[in-house]
Structure 1
């Protein structure tokens, strides 16, 4: 990836922060397919990029627990200058978490696996390539209905902690 005349190496699981107005080019030397997932959020807290930090490698981030058998690693956060949203990579073990909601908008992109999004009295199937928007305070549960871990990349706005809950059902 090239930004401002500088080259930045990309690998699977790399998070990249681009400040408003920055242009970039991505080159894929192949032969593997390159998947990019992009999210844009309103800039309400000001954007500044931390000198020397533009990319975040998944392998360099500590593994954290959200709830139950759900783990995540932060990617793009305020540590690289992104003050308005948080990007994370999540792994969801087979099963269903309790219904819950968050105080932020969340967009989830399913990288691997299959499951069911429960919310508002409906059940909707999700699988690799699915993209879901969850508005603030929307009571939901993302169930992994498969036999292997579901892998997601997600962003939320405003920035914060993916383990935080506005509401969680007692189960």
Structure 2
């Protein structure tokens, strides 16, 4: 049985300026046979991620709390808690917190996130 607790997962700031905890990644867990990686991320009020793209992986955001503005390629849309956003592989993406509280995101990357697959553009 594999159980991970977010409270014991290290917090760091990613290259795109998102604060995150990598909850589950197959490279770190030999018994995990998932293709995807899972992360808990947040941006404080007024913060935004830098434009970036994953060359071969798609990403799905589930907004846990807060509100923001999602940018994918040439499109932008307001987002809020309870919404899911699909980001296709190769798309330039960024998200900004437009609210007064943290914008909290559960992110799924498939196949699993790899530093060599990510290009930070901003």
Question: Could you state the TM-score of these two structures normalised by the residue count of structure 1?
Answer: 0.61
User: For 1:129, which of 82, 85, 90 is the aligned residue?
Assistant: 82
Q: Which moved more, 1:59-68 or 1:138-147?
A: 59-68
Q: Larger relative CO (CA 8 A, sep 6+): 1 or 2?
A: 2
1:145 partnered with 2:98: yes
Measure, in 2, the Cα distance between the counterparts of 1:119 and 1:67. Answer: 18
Deviations for 1:103-131, whole angstroms, at most 9, x for unmatched residues? 21100000000001112322111000010
Structure with greater proportional strand content: 2
Deviations for 1:47-79, whole angstroms, at most 9, x for unmatched residues? xxxxx42x2111111112113652111222221
User: For 1:67, which of 15, 21, 36 is the aligned residue?
Assistant: 15
Q: Is the contact between residue 76 and residue 82 of structure 1 (CA under 8 Å) also seen in structure 2?
A: no
Q: Is the contact between residue 16 and residue 120 of structure 2 (CA under 8 Å) also seen in structure 1?
A: no
Q: Which runs of 4+ in 1 moved over 4 A?
A: none
Stretches of structure 2 lacking an aligned partner (at least 5 in a row): none
Q: Please, what is the CA RMSD of the aligned residues?
A: 2.0
Question: Could you state the TM-score of these two structures normalised by the residue count of structure 2?
Answer: 0.83
1:90 partnered with 2:41: yes
Q: Which of 1 and 2 has greater Rg?
A: 1
Q: Is the contact between residue 75 and residue 89 of structure 1 (CA under 8 Å) also seen in structure 2?
A: yes
Q: Is the contact between residue 114 and residue 144 of structure 1 (CA under 8 Å) also seen in structure 2?
A: yes
The count of corresponding residues between Structure 1 and Structure 2 is 117
Stretches of structure 1 lacking an aligned partner (at least 5 in a row): 1-51
